[in-house]
Amino acid sequence: MHIPVLLNEVIQYLAPQPNENFIDCTLGFGGHSKAILEKTKPNGKVLGIEWDEGKLKAQSSKFKVEERLVVVNDSYTNLRDIVEREKFYPVNGILLDLGMSSWDLEESGRGFSFQKDEPLDMRYAVQSLTAEEIINKWSEEEITRILRDYGQERFAKNIASNIVNVRRQQPIETTFQLIEVIRKSFPRSYKFGRQHFATKTFQALRIATNNELANLEKVLPQALEVLRTGGKLVVISFHSLEDRIVKNFFRDQQKQNSLQILTKKPIMAALAEMRDNPKACSAKLRSAVKL
């Protein structure tokens, strides 16, 4: 079951009031949206945007009776157009939860998890390239770059070199094939820690496949634009590169008097939440209000 991360903190910083309208740019399984709808009774609405059609189908029964939730299958990079199309005004607050859901790992069948033998897909939506294409068609230099930049993988060069050597013999098409290549890319003397040795490579491939960092850079100015004055923006990131993009955007916009930062430092999950939901351990929440 997917548990929404930092739920209390999201409600605290969005501060939804009766009859206000909010946008959940990453609807997923609707945990955050459900809580927002509860606070905005009787007439407040939530515009829920979800890129992954499979995820929408998996949770379609959840909100059947909820007329106040407007669900759109689209990328949040089209936020401005979606708001115009749905005539969804005024917007009192916007949420971006940049994390993966447990459904992606456990049920999607798209190779997000290194614990299952699945095709190397890693797409949230059908229009983007696949992880398999990156592994089998990108140059050694390009693969090294994404593993180093997006995964902060120390042995990026070794892994990329081995990927290129193996794919000359046969394509690398599944998660377990890739894991074997990664395993052989570490020095024999290397001591593996608690984190799985494939974690950073899989993270880097997912970010590159879905163009996640560029998408975040596209949506933030649109979010600020569609918010009403006094509207709140809340972003939950799970990766230092994502958090840096949000931090820099907030800082630059505050200098221009477009918004005021509400979180001087990112808000982290309490120990109890980390214990109950390990996914929350890397979550960082930042919030700002439009001036």
Which CATH number is 232's domain given? Answer: 3.40.50.150
Residues recorded for the chain? 291
Say whether both 179 and 249 belong to one domain: no
* Structure token pair of residue 260: 């005021």
Average of per-residue pLDDT across 57-83: 83
What is the DSSP annotation of 82-98? HHHHHT---EEEEEEE-
Is residue 81 domain-resident?
A: yes
Average of per-residue pLDDT across 175-198: 88
Is residue 114 domain-resident?
A: no
CA distance 148 to 146: 5
Say whether both 169 and 219 belong to one domain: no
Say whether both 217 and 94 belong to one domain: yes
Query: Please, are residues 47 and 23 in contact by the beta-carbon 8 Å criterion?
Result: yes
Is residue 87 domain-resident?
A: yes
Residue-level pLDDT at 71: 93
Number of domains making up the chain:
2
> How many C-beta neighbours within 10 Å does residue 219 have?
22
Give me the domain span that covers residue 279: 7-103+212-290
Is residue 219 domain-resident?
A: yes
Residue-level pLDDT at 52: 86
Question: Of the spans 45-54, 85-94, 123-132, 183-192, which averages the highest pLDDT?
Answer: 85-94
Nearest to 52 by CA among 117, 122, 118, 4: 122
Say whether both 218 and 194 belong to one domain: no
Say whether both 97 and 135 belong to one domain: no
> Where is pLDDT greater, at 127 or 204?
204
Say whether both 139 and 273 belong to one domain: no
Say whether both 249 and 264 belong to one domain: yes
Average of per-residue pLDDT across 179-202: 88
Residue-level pLDDT at 187: 84
Q: Quick one: CA dihedral 191, 195, 196, 200, positive or negative?
A: negative
Q: Locate tokens 């971006």: which residue? A: 96
Q: Is 236 helix (H, G, I), strand (E, B) or coil?
A: strand
Residue-level pLDDT at 226: 98
Is residue 123 domain-resident?
A: no
Is residue 77 domain-resident?
A: yes
Q: Does 65 score more than 70 pLDDT?
A: no
Residue where one domain finishes, among candidates 210, 226, 254: 210
Q: Locate tokens 């003397």: which residue? A: 189
Say whether both 72 and 17 belong to one domain: yes
Query: Worst-scoring range by mean pLDDT, 65-79, 208-222, 227-241?
Result: 65-79
Question: Which alpha helices (H) appear in the chain, and where do they start and end?
Answer: 7-14, 31-39, 53-58, 79-86, 102-106, 131-137, 140-151, 156-169, 175-183, 199-210, 212-226, 240-255, 271-276
Residue 135: CATH number of its domain: 1.10.150.170
Q: Is 51 helix (H, G, I), strand (E, B) or coil?
A: coil
Say whether both 65 and 16 belong to one domain: yes
CA distance 29 to 22: 16
Residue where one domain finishes, among candidates 155, 184, 210: 210
Say whether both 86 and 217 belong to one domain: yes
Say whether both 99 and 225 belong to one domain: yes
Residue-level pLDDT at 129: 92
Say whether both 216 and 96 belong to one domain: yes
Residue-level pLDDT at 57: 79
Residue where one domain finishes, among candidates 155, 186, 210: 210
Nearest to 216 by CA among 240, 193, 199: 240
Q: Does 290 score more than 80 pLDDT?
A: yes
Residue-level pLDDT at 158: 97
Cβ-based neighbours of 267, under 8 Å, separated by 6 or more:
6, 9, 13, 284, 285, 286, 287
Q: Quick one: CA dihedral 167, 204, 211, 34, positive or negative?
A: positive
Is residue 97 domain-resident?
A: yes
Residue-level pLDDT at 107: 85
* Structure token pair of residue 227: 């918010």
